Amino acid sequence: MLNVQNLHVYYGAIHALKGLNFHLEQGEIVTLIGANGAGKSTTLNALSGLLAAREGKLEFEGEDITRTPAQDIVRRGVIQVPEGRKIFATLTVMENLEVGAYLHPDKAQIEKDIESVFKRFPRLKERRNQLGGTLSGGEQQMLAIARGLMSHPKLLLLDEPSMGLAPILVEQIFEIIRDINDQGTSILLVEQNAQMALSIADRAYVLETGQVVLEGDAQEILHNPMVMEAYLGGH
């Protein structure tokens, strides 16, 4: 479904991704793990068309999207839920969801989608007329994911969904991610909480300074001594 070949991305003079290679099959959850600055968010931003590739190739469903503008990548069904949630603080929950549906002008379909989002996130239904900025961190994360789902993603790019959340909420968010995947959406997950990410992923890639240093089945990576030492606190 997704094929990344020899991807090089720069921030000014900084060489952030140095020949990155990885792939994702339809229906998988693939996670990218690594320390801060390893290039995980940069990878998602390059896939979203928010950062230009200096070199390399990005393919989605067999088509080259390396030079495709961000809005057209969204139209193809690649949707990012960004780090830090980036919800619209001065819009209500409902308005945030409607913004997520801007690709689908069919009013009846939007209403259906909002109903299905509310079924998955009952808390958002209770808060539907509240401003996004007044929600708790966990509710904002739910809203960010729900807004992403309003665009009918084929591939959902999740950037640090558990950041800043209490452990009980982290478990809830990961259950939701697994459920979204069970409903047929492929997921590329970037996550500091390597333990949680590896527990729900099919496969994983470990990034260091813009390169893949390890890849494989998520369970194997979870029990790899190097990974345990570096990312799981030696447990």
* pLDDT tens column, 160-191: 999 888 888 899 999 999 999 999 999 999 99
Tell me the average pLDDT across 136-154: 92
Per-domain residue ranges for the chain? 2-85+153-231
Compute the mean pLDDT over every residue in the chain, rounded to the nearest whole number.
Answer: 93
Alpha-carbon distance 230 to 212, whole Å?
A: 15
Taking a C-beta distance cutoff of 8 angstroms, is the pair 149, 115 a contact?
no
Tokens of 190: 């970037």
Q: How far is CA 170 from the centre of its chain?
A: 15
Alpha-carbon distance 159 to 144, whole Å?
A: 11
Output the pTM of the full model.
0.93
pLDDT digits (tens, 9 = 90+) for 203-231: 999 999 999 999 999 999 999 998 888 87
- Domain with residues 2-85+153-231, CATH architecture: 3-Layer(aba) Sandwich (3.40)
Q: What per-residue confidence (pLDDT) applies to 235?
A: 45
Q: Is 201 helix (H, G, I), strand (E, B) or coil?
A: coil
pLDDT digits (tens, 9 = 90+) for 24-71: 999 999 999 998 889 999 999 999 999 999 999 999 999 999 999 999
